[in-house]
Every structure is written in C-alpha cells, then in structure tokens.
Amino acid sequence: MTDTIFSKIINKEIPADIVYEDEKCIAFNDISPQAPTHILVIPRKGISKLSESQETDKDLLGHLMLSATQIAKKLNLDDYRLVINNGADAGQTVFHLHIHILAGRPFGWPPG
Ligand code: 5GP
C-alpha cells in the first residue's frame, strides 16, 4: 500500500498526541474530534483497509480490538462506539486501517 499520513505518525515524522503504543499498534487522538473522546487505533503494519487484511492478520486484528477496549478501560469510558470505515463510500479518508474510539456523548443509530 502507499504511505499515508498515518505512516508518518508511526515513524514519528509528524507529531501526534499518542495515548498508547506497543510493538503492533499505536493509538492517538484524532486531529478533528467528532466526540469529546476520539482516538484512532492503527496497526504499525500497513494495511490499507479492513477488507485488504488476510488470514495471517487474524492475531493483529484481535490485538487491535483488544487494545481499543483496554484503552477505553484505562480512560474509564463506560459506553463508547468503535468504528471502522472501509472504503471511500463508507467514509474512509485515510487508507491505513484504523479503529475509531468515540465516546463522551450519546450516539444516534443509524449512523449518518
Ligand atoms: P476515516 O475517515 O479514514 O475513517 O478517518 C480518518 C481520521 O483521521 C479522521 O477522523 C481524521 O480527522 C483523522 N486524521 C487525518 N489526518 C490526521 C492527522 O494528521 N493527525 C491525526 N491525529 N488525525 C488525522
């Protein structure tokens, strides 16, 4: 996949407000928050979108989900929404897989 702004954040070429990182993933505050808490959890591995992930990414995908829940727990978030936009029509604008953690306000359904 081609490099994105998130590759630059992973490589510390541009700053980000990092809230968590380990050997497989990094999480940071969204630059344009859509809720009082808006964090992005991304794999260090370059996967452009969820549908491009492979069977061999199974552990990594589980790790991302568990990391998201652990970050939420650490921040004492009770209710929150996890979002993965897969593809442009679904709202994806940065083509490096990421999970949004959104919290701190009520959310409607269906989403816009
Ligand atoms: P998407 O629309 O692809 O699901 O989400 C991409 C998210 O990345 C958006 O919420 C957008 O605000 C965020 N974003 C884009 N560029 C940057 C950046 O340079 N830094 C940070 N922290 N977030 C970014």
Strands 37-43 and 18-21: unpaired
Ligand 1: atom nearest CA of 32 is 12
Segment 6-37, tens digit of pLDDT: 999 999 999 999 999 999 999 999 999 999 99
Instruction: Tell me the pTM.
Output: 0.98
Does the structure show a pLDDT above 90 at 2?
no
User: Is residue 67 one of the residues assigned to a domain?
Assistant: yes
CA distance 13 to 110: 37
Residue 109 lies in a domain: no
Per-residue pLDDT tens over the stretch 44-103: 999 999 999 999 999 999 999 999 999 999 999 999 999 999 999 999 999 999 999 999
> Could you list the residue range(s) of the whole structural domain that residue 15 is in?
5-103
Residue 69 lies inside a defined structural domain of this protein? yes
| CATH code for the domain in which residue 87 is found | 3.30.428.10
- Tell me if 72 CB under 6 Å of ligand 1: no
Distance CA 105, CA 73 (A): 17
Annotated active-site residue 96? The verdict is no
Give pLDDT, residue 112: 81
Tokens of 25: 């993933």
Number of domains in the chain: 1
Q: Is the CB of 99 under 6 A from ligand 1?
A: no
- Is 110 contained in some domain? no
Q: Which atom of ligand 1 is nearest to the CA of 85?
A: 4
